[in-house]
Structure 1
Amino acid sequence: MRAPYWVALMCLVLAVPVATVSFRMLTEIYFNQAASRADDTLGLAVSALQGQLDRYRKLPQLLAELQDIRDLAANPGDADKIVSANAYLEATSDLLEASDIYVMTGDGTTIAASNHASEASFIGETFDYRPYFTDAIAGRDGSFFALGTTSLRRGYYFSAPIINADRIDGVLAIKVDIDAIENSWRSGDTEIIVSDPEGIIFMSGRSEWLFASLEPLTQERLDRTGQTRRYADAELVELPAALTRTKQGHSLLSFLDGDPAPEYLSVSQPMPEAGWTVRVLLDASPARAEALITTLLLLSAMAVVTMGVIVWMQRRMRLAERLAMQAEAREQLERRVAERTTDLGLANSRLEAEVVERRNAEEKLRKTQADLVQAGKLAALGQMSAALSHEFNQPLAAVRSYADSALVMIDRDRTGEVRQYVERIGGLTEKMTTISRHLSNFARKPGEQLRPVDLDPIVADALAILDWRVRDQVIVVTTDLADCPLAQAGSVRLQQVLVNILSNAFDAIEGREKREVAIAARQLDGRIALTVADTGPGVPAGVIDRIFDPFFSTKGVGRGLGLGLSISYNIVKDFGGDLTVRNAPAGGAVFTILLEPAESRELEPAQ
């Protein structure tokens, strides 16, 4: 038999075990995925149930400590107290959204209830057989889930003893309705059931499963349930289902009354405080169907690969028969390959040279950009020189005046007044030092590395540099940076961007009646948006798309090179962010700096 047919026969023999093993493994994989979804649903269901119960757990104790309730328990025959208690319990039940609230005497007889006016009133009913009553009358907080013997409605009961002078006179109980939670389970592709310690289902999105047991109803279980009349006169039946486990530990609940029998993947979680077990049932048939489809696709792929191998082997056999006739053609091909290799080597050498040249050009471009950034800062400092000279000359003149006055006071032996002049000289010196420090930080070349930075001090430093303009133009500047997270940027370069944008804003509102600038920061779509809005005329529609171009300026001759916004745009791009401008509906321009939030909480050190 020729080789291709051997390959086909081997693949045919291996197909059955491969399909069997693949189906088993894929079934477990899809079961794992389904179990993960069911676990999420289970966690939500348990949280909802636990939250509903915790909401009412401490309320009986609080209500039992009320003086009116204690007086009623001590005087159960007082009609006036009963009427007052009925009205109070009814109002409290509506407020707390509880099903029922009622007060029982020491023998379990109900003397006051929130449902006193309804047909199914608890007044006069005796509940001494309920565990929540026996626990409370013994001095403990009680809880119990049951079907009401009077209302025939399911609920969870919480109870607390009513104590007067170390004497237990009665019990206060609250019944919580959980139908709202159960109704929310009636949608979706999962079934949620809750069973009691005896395995009896008392909560389910499917009404036919209620009061059915997942385990055999032995006489012992029936007796324990009957003692507390947990389900009143409801008929308890065994659910026709079998619980099995896979080799991977997944629980499968199969119902035996269907054709085909429904099968569910079951995940469960106990609620020890309530004595419940919550189960989420997810239909297992989609997982098995997906495993079957994937197995069939795998077999199809094996068939395609087998056919490909057979075709390849046939071609190899035919090729071997023609090798002798193709020796000359092969030699010619090898020569052509050698020539092509030589050409590719030359082309590769030229490409490497172009790459080196491109890298050099990019390095020069980065250096030129950095020089432009520095030049822009120095140009800004030059434009501010006259105002800064005024900022320094005034304190210097005052220092000289205070110094002369101090000398005169010393000559006159009035040393007490000399201290005041020296303190004023110190304050003016500190003011000049602060201005100098801001200008020094602004003028230095920043580092390239991006780190987490706090926007608040950067905005403060930028405003300090331009403080002379704020005071000179009488500008109202407002800031809103509350609860803004750290941004990924460089502090010095971001400060330059703010100085450029604020300078443009101050130029825009110069000479206008309303001179206001607003600086704000907020989170926007996972990024940090730092905005600068002014009350100027806004950006003309014809130039708004070109405002970040190099050497483009709307200012007059001699008022800048048109590089400030272009440099700022490139700096923000280096941060991985974006710089945009728009006109506000009420007038004025709004510049927005979009920055990435910092991944760590360590602030950038001073650059």
Structure 2
Amino acid sequence: MNTIARTYKPHIRFLLQLLLIVTGIAMAAVLAAYLSWQRTLIQQHTEMSNQLALYSSTMHAELRRFEALPYVLALSSSVQNLLREANSPERSHQVSLYLENINREAGSGMLYVLDRDGRTLASSNWANSNNIIGNNYQFRPYFSAARNGGTGRFFGIGVDTHQPGVYIAQPIRINGQIHGVLVVKIKTDGMETNWRKGGEQVLVSDSNGVVIMSTIPAWKFSTLQELSAPVRKQLQDSRQYDNAALARLPFDWPAASGDRLRINNQELLVMTSNVGLLDWKMSLLGDLSTARHQAWLSAAVTGFALLALTMAALYARLLRRRRRDSLAAQQTLERTVEERTAELASTNQRLLAEINDKRQAELALHDAQTELIQSSKLRALGLMATHIAHELNQPLAALRSFADNTRQYLALGQTAQVDANLERIIAQTDKLGAMTAELKLFAARRPVRGHSDLSLLQAGLDDTLAPRLALNNAQLYWDIERPCPIPLEPLALEQIIINLVSNAADALGQSVTRDIQLRVLSRAGHVELHISDHGPGLPTSQPDRVFEPFYSSKPYGQGLGLGLAIVAGIVRDAGGDIHASNQSDGGACFSVRLPLAQQETP
């Protein structure tokens, strides 16, 4: 029983560890999904708020544009004379022509004049078969408000034109007395068309919750909640919505801005704001499927990444265990050899045999060391191949995608899209060329000792570095003498400065100070080149690790990590040395020290 327990105990421990790892990965994936969901939701909330503010301000400006029109027209002498001669057909026709011209130039929906009893005396639509001249609109709230000396504002469906619009009415005063009302009707279908072209889901509701404007035609003149009996009677008496049924929409409308709404298994984010002078509310609906897909994608990526790391850790643990077992076996072998040597020390034959055994052991050890060195080389080669393959796969995948799209665009005859894709393909091939050029430069070994005057190379280096500095909003300051001799070939010197300044510009990140300093100091027997920045600095433990090939703190796809290795190789080939350190006031400093030949010593 004890033997069986000892046999199964490691397996049980392994299963428990595996269960713990799987649980941890699942919890990390869920957390990544939740954080991605919240981040995307906040971003969409912000974007929709900005879009809603733009739409509401545009609508408010459109309505305000016609606010003063009825007031100005009410001061017209021809309009006032019409009220004095209300029964004159000639005067009515004259004013109707005048209103027609004003309505056409202003871009409003309709202009008309009502007498004190609400009867239409003149209208801009006098030439239409359904003109409203002679109709009485005393029942409209905007007429009552204007006749009482105020400004009448009202949204409704025309009882004769059956067209919705916003009505603004102003009293017509003659000698201080109100004799009539002038009304402008503003069309709203243009704003709905613009919203619909933008692909947005927008609706506007009045104070009673009636949808008066919407990019979804089926929702217009429906209600967001049930209307009470008094409200329905008030709307019927004013004929505000003509014969519309005012049925409630088949879903529960959210109570506050930023809440969510579900329609036919589609979850929407609803943003609402007040607009206009009629106590309206504008609502913008945004689809949350993108945010949900992003959350699932984050969970999948996190889960797979953690799974890969776990597998790598388990594999490393297995290698350590094998190495430990190998070392234990080797130690056992050595003890065995020592024991046999002591046993055979009495005779020469046994001594010779022991010597022979030791020679065999040394040969085996040498073979093992050779195999270990070869294995290390293969691992380094594998690391390099993996790194290069990762860097090249991204542009290659992009080239394949752009080529497939270009073939489809060619079939459709869309030459503009073909040209744009070819530009993208050229950019990707340039990126691949830059990577391979960096590898060739890393592998090449050319003579670098020579003579250069850095002051003569400054202008060309400024032009070369200008795009990189502008991309990072950085400024390079030179502190050199003229002339400024450097014991390097011009191309080698340019390669050192371009790599160090480019790395410094990329390292600035979010730093407030965007300055990069380049300083050359002439010493007895050598010259020093210092390039410093105000970025986050280097790793404090081993700052010189940055000169190792393929070491990079940048995200994948932003270089192979060979730039500083190339610089270090050039400096070493020139007989100099290079060091990296952190400055006391922040940022990193790279110092290059190059020896001068006897004739170069200043």
Specify the TM-score bucket, using the shorter chain as the normaliser: 0.5 to 0.7
Alpha-carbon distance between aligned partners in 1 of 2:455 and 2:92, rounded to the nearest angstrom: 96
1:79 is matched with which residue? 89
Q: Equivalent residue of 1:302, what SS?
A: helix
Q: Which stretch shifts more, 142-151 or 185-194?
A: 185-194
Alpha-carbon distance between aligned partners in 1 of 2:193 and 2:478, rounded to the nearest angstrom: 70
2:154 is matched with which residue? 144
Alpha-carbon distance between aligned partners in 1 of 2:317 and 2:88, rounded to the nearest angstrom: 104
- Among 55, 59, 66, the residue aligned to 2:65: 55
Query: Are 2:259 and 1:251 aligned?
Result: yes
1:120 is matched with which residue? 130
Query: Are 2:163 and 1:153 aligned?
Result: yes
Alpha-carbon distance between aligned partners in 1 of 2:318 and 2:481, rounded to the nearest angstrom: 63
Q: Equivalent residue of 2:252, what SS?
A: strand
Query: Are 2:425 and 1:311 aligned?
Result: no
Extract unaligned runs of 5+ from structure 2: 1-9, 335-364, 374-448, 459-476, 485-602
Extract unaligned runs of 5+ from structure 1: 337-353, 371-607
2:277 is matched with which residue? 273
Q: Equivalent residue of 1:299, what SS?
A: helix
- 1:116, distance to aligned residue in structure 2 (A): 1.3
Q: Equivalent residue of 1:182, what SS?
A: helix
- 1:60, distance to aligned residue in structure 2 (A): 0.6
The aligned runs of 1:203-214 (5 Å cut-off) are 203-214=213-224
Kindly tell me: are residues 15 and 242 of structure 1, through their superposed partners in 2, closer, same or farther at Cα, counting changes over 3 Å? farther
Residue pair 2:169, 2:182 contacting (<8 A) in 1 also: yes
Kindly tell me: are residues 250 and 126 of structure 1, through their superposed partners in 2, closer, same or farther at Cα, counting changes over 3 Å? same
2:299 is matched with which residue? 295
Alpha-carbon distance between aligned partners in 1 of 2:286 and 2:155, rounded to the nearest angstrom: 26
Alpha-carbon distance between aligned partners in 2 of 1:302 and 1:367, rounded to the nearest angstrom: 54
Query: Are 2:372 and 1:368 aligned?
Result: no
Kindly tell me: are residues 168 and 286 of structure 1, through their superposed partners in 2, closer, same or farther at Cα, counting changes over 3 Å? same
1:234 is matched with which residue? 244
Residue pair 1:8, 1:306 contacting (<8 A) in 2 also: no
- 1:17, distance to aligned residue in structure 2 (A): 4.2
- Among 141, 150, 164, the residue aligned to 2:174: 164
Kindly tell me: are residues 93 and 34 of structure 1, through their superposed partners in 2, closer, same or farther at Cα, counting changes over 3 Å? same
The letter of the residue matching 1:70 is Q
Residue pair 1:271, 1:278 contacting (<8 A) in 2 also: yes
Kindly tell me: are residues 245 and 99 of structure 1, through their superposed partners in 2, closer, same or farther at Cα, counting changes over 3 Å? closer
- 1:86, distance to aligned residue in structure 2 (A): 1.0
Q: Equivalent residue of 1:213, what SS?
A: coil
Residue pair 1:4, 1:310 contacting (<8 A) in 2 also: no
Alpha-carbon distance between aligned partners in 1 of 2:248 and 2:236, rounded to the nearest angstrom: 16
Residue pair 1:109, 1:128 contacting (<8 A) in 2 also: yes
Alpha-carbon distance between aligned partners in 2 of 1:10 and 1:245, rounded to the nearest angstrom: 43
- 1:175, distance to aligned residue in structure 2 (A): 0.4
Residue pair 1:190, 1:283 contacting (<8 A) in 2 also: no
- 1:243, distance to aligned residue in structure 2 (A): 3.8
How many residues are aligned here? 346
1:542 is matched with which residue? none
- 1:288, distance to aligned residue in structure 2 (A): 1.3
Kindly tell me: are residues 292 and 200 of structure 1, through their superposed partners in 2, closer, same or farther at Cα, counting changes over 3 Å? same
Alpha-carbon distance between aligned partners in 2 of 1:222 and 1:365, rounded to the nearest angstrom: 82
Q: Equivalent residue of 1:57, what SS?
A: coil
Residue pair 1:137, 1:171 contacting (<8 A) in 2 also: yes
Q: Equivalent residue of 1:173, what SS?
A: strand
- Among 99, 112, 121, the residue aligned to 2:109: 99
- 1:325, distance to aligned residue in structure 2 (A): 6.2
Alpha-carbon distance between aligned partners in 1 of 2:479 and 2:83, rounded to the nearest angstrom: 90
Alpha-carbon distance between aligned partners in 1 of 2:255 and 2:20, rounded to the nearest angstrom: 35
Residue pair 2:155, 2:165 contacting (<8 A) in 1 also: yes
The letter of the residue matching 1:197 is S
Kindly tell me: are residues 4 and 313 of structure 1, through their superposed partners in 2, closer, same or farther at Cα, counting changes over 3 Å? farther
What is the percent sequence identity of the aligned residues? 25
Alpha-carbon distance between aligned partners in 2 of 1:227 and 1:313, rounded to the nearest angstrom: 84
The letter of the residue matching 1:368 is R
- Among 196, 201, 222, the residue aligned to 2:232: 222
Query: Are 2:183 and 1:173 aligned?
Result: yes
Residue pair 1:31, 1:250 contacting (<8 A) in 2 also: no
- 1:230, distance to aligned residue in structure 2 (A): 1.6
- Among 184, 193, 216, the residue aligned to 1:183: 193
Kindly tell me: are residues 299 and 203 of structure 1, through their superposed partners in 2, closer, same or farther at Cα, counting changes over 3 Å? same
- 1:132, distance to aligned residue in structure 2 (A): 1.4
Which whole-Å deviations, capped at 9, do the CAs of 1:556-583 have from their partners, x for residues lacking one? xxxxxxxxxxxxxxxxxxxxxxxxxxxx
Q: Equivalent residue of 1:125, what SS?
A: coil
Alpha-carbon RMSD across the aligned residues, in angstroms, is 3.5
Residue pair 1:64, 1:160 contacting (<8 A) in 2 also: yes
TM-score by length of 1: 0.52
Alpha-carbon distance between aligned partners in 1 of 2:479 and 2:254, rounded to the nearest angstrom: 71
Residue pair 2:112, 2:120 contacting (<8 A) in 1 also: yes
- 1:20, distance to aligned residue in structure 2 (A): 4.0
- 1:244, distance to aligned residue in structure 2 (A): 4.9
1:110 is matched with which residue? 120
The letter of the residue matching 1:279 is S
Alpha-carbon distance between aligned partners in 2 of 1:50 and 1:189, rounded to the nearest angstrom: 21
Alpha-carbon distance between aligned partners in 1 of 2:83 and 2:479, rounded to the nearest angstrom: 90
